[in-house]
Amino acid sequence: MNYQTVKGMRDFLPEEMLVRKKIFETAQTVLEKYGFAPLDTPALEYEETLTAKSGEDVKKELFAFKDKGGRKVGLRFDLTVPTSRVLANNPHLVMPFKRYQYGKAWRYGEIKKGRYREFYQFDIDSFGSNSMVTDAEIVAAVLEVYKKLGLNIIMRVNNRKILADMMDYAGIPKKLWQEAFRAIDKLDKVGLKGVEKELVDRGISKESCKKIIRLIGTDSLNKLKKILGGCEGIKELEELTGYLKSFNVKNYVIDVSLARGLDYYTGPVFEASCKDIKVSVGGGGRYDNLIKILSGRDVPATGFSLGIEPIFELLKSKSKQASSTKVFVASVKPEFDKKVVGLAQKMRKAGMNVETDLMGRSLKKQLDYVSKKGIPFVIIIGEKELKEKKFTVRDMKTGKQRKTGFEEVMKLFGKG
RNA sequence: GUCUGGGUAGUCUAGUGGUUAGGAUAGCGGGUUGUGGUCCCGUUGACCCGAGUUCGAAUCUCGGCCCGGACCCCA
């Protein structure tokens, strides 16, 4: 017998799931402080819904099949399309509609490093508001999530309208914009010269190239203003940064080379990357036209998608705990098992994470297990403890032990 | 989509035509009777699948499945 997981799909063992859970819970807690509420939608949607307004590429990567009633269905490939369906189906929703949603999405595509056919997405979006406060709020909230996770993040900020003006200024025909954006987006990877080459390779004239290179080389908004004049994108960006100041957000940087691949962005765009290692850990932006295309309702939208996989990769080296158990209640001999279970259950009732031995192991082996699982404390129960009516509490990190009464145990391992 | 490398226990790896397929690490048990993360001993456990070549295949050939790298594309 040799069963495999389906191509491109993975198992997540407890050790990994604890890290993932931490990411989700941290994000959830922070976002709810800002008034974002959870949303969930089915994994399966009608193929019609999923492919309604999407290009050929998406259709190719769709996990699609017929259900037993012959209906054509498919697994969602992102969380944006299902959410627009929700918006279309629920006209009563009060605006702004602020939701976060995390879950699995599926794409039947090539498998690459960090890219699988089943993956987690975590999206945060605000619907219904045109104001730059909304965008700033999302940036602030998201940066708080990263901070809580202990990541050193810088948020790069730009505006698609600035990019559009840059294209006009450089005299690049609209047909080639998308190509140009992709080239510019590679600045980080390939440098100014690399971008120039990319632009030429994509059929953009030398003249235009020079202008573009000059523009993405500028680092101050004022210089850009002088070249482009007072464009709407710059105005929006100034508004956004003004609000960011009010949110007391400092770890962002304006980067006019930031384009992001998706062509549905219409205003501000963001990308979060780790300062130490140059890794993108999430991105987003404003997409005011997409919901109308998908749902028929004219709803402005701005959002952000946390890159669960890269965040996970960054965090997994840090955490070694294989269990969320705080205390293990050990039994010296099987005859004390009932006492052990009794105490554990009282502690659980008080909200503590407690484990006991289920394998009939010796004290030595129990401690071995505790050590392997990274459980920080052990309470030992044996003859001595019963006689003295006290418990032995062992700190696994220091190896120090002391005897305490029940009340004290409850205090020790209570909240905090 | 193009090019390319690879699949030996859960993980890493030795073995290139005849081996009881070796080791490391993890798992489980033990090193007596109440103390882990060190050490020692024991034990479970593998040649991706199928066909072919051969007296004989982990090893050679072909196909499939799976995994990885580069570019393209996409996030």
Are residues A62 and A143 part of one domain?
A: yes
Residues 331-390 of A with CB under 7 A from strand B: 332-333, 359, 361-365, 367-372, 380, 382-385
Domain count, chain A: 2
| pLDDT computed for residue A316 by the predictor | 77
| Contact between A233 and A274 (Cβ < 8 Å) | no
| Contact between A177 and A203 (Cβ < 8 Å) | no
Are residues A312 and A398 part of one domain?
A: no
Instruction: Read off the pLDDT of residues A341-381 as tens digits, 9 standing for 90 and up.
Output: 999 999 999 999 999 999 999 999 999 999 989 899 999 99
Instruction: Identify the bridge partners of residue A156 per DSSP, sorted by sequence position.
Output: A253, A271
Are residues A257 and A169 part of one domain?
A: yes
| pLDDT computed for residue A384 by the predictor | 92
> Which of A257, A285, A316 is a domain's end point?
A316
Rg (CA), chain A: 27
Instruction: Read off the pLDDT of residues A15-29 as tens digits, 9 standing for 90 and up.
Output: 888 889 999 999 999
Q: Please, which positions of strand B sit below 7 A from a protein CB?
A: 1-2, 26-31, 34-37, 48-49, 65-75
Nearest nucleotide from residue A114 CA, by C1' atom: B75
| pLDDT computed for residue A54 by the predictor | 64
Q: Residue A3: inside a domain, yes or no?
A: no
| pLDDT computed for residue A177 by the predictor | 79
- For the residues of A22-42, what is the DSSP string, one character each? HHHHHHHHHHHHTT-EE----
Provide the whole-model pTM. 0.85
Q: Residue A137: inside a domain, yes or no?
A: yes
Query: What's the CA A149/C1' B35 distance, rounded, in angstroms?
Result: 35
Instruction: Identify the bridge partners of residue A329 per DSSP, sorted by sequence position.
Output: A356, A379
Q: What is the ipTM of this complex?
A: 0.84
| pLDDT computed for residue A396 by the predictor | 92
Which secondary-structure segment (H or E) carries A274? strand A268-274
Is the minimum distance from the CB of A108 to strand B below 7 Å?
no
Query: What's the CA A112/C1' B50 distance, rounded, in angstroms?
Result: 27
A77: Cβ–Cβ under 8 A, 6 or more apart, which residues? A50, A58, A61, A62, A63, A105, A106, A107
Query: What's the CA A55/C1' B74 distance, rounded, in angstroms?
Result: 12
Query: What's the CA A119/C1' B28 distance, rounded, in angstroms?
Result: 34
| pLDDT computed for residue A320 by the predictor | 61
| Contact between A124 and A304 (Cβ < 8 Å) | yes
The backbone torsions φ and ψ at residue A387, rounded to the nearest 5 degrees and listed phi first, read -60, -45
| pLDDT computed for residue A416 by the predictor | 47
Domain containing residue A356: 327-412
Are residues A307 and A333 part of one domain?
A: no
- The low-confidence residues of chain A, meaning pLDDT below 70, are 1-2, 53-57, 219, 261-262, 317-321, 415-416
| pLDDT computed for residue A191 by the predictor | 73
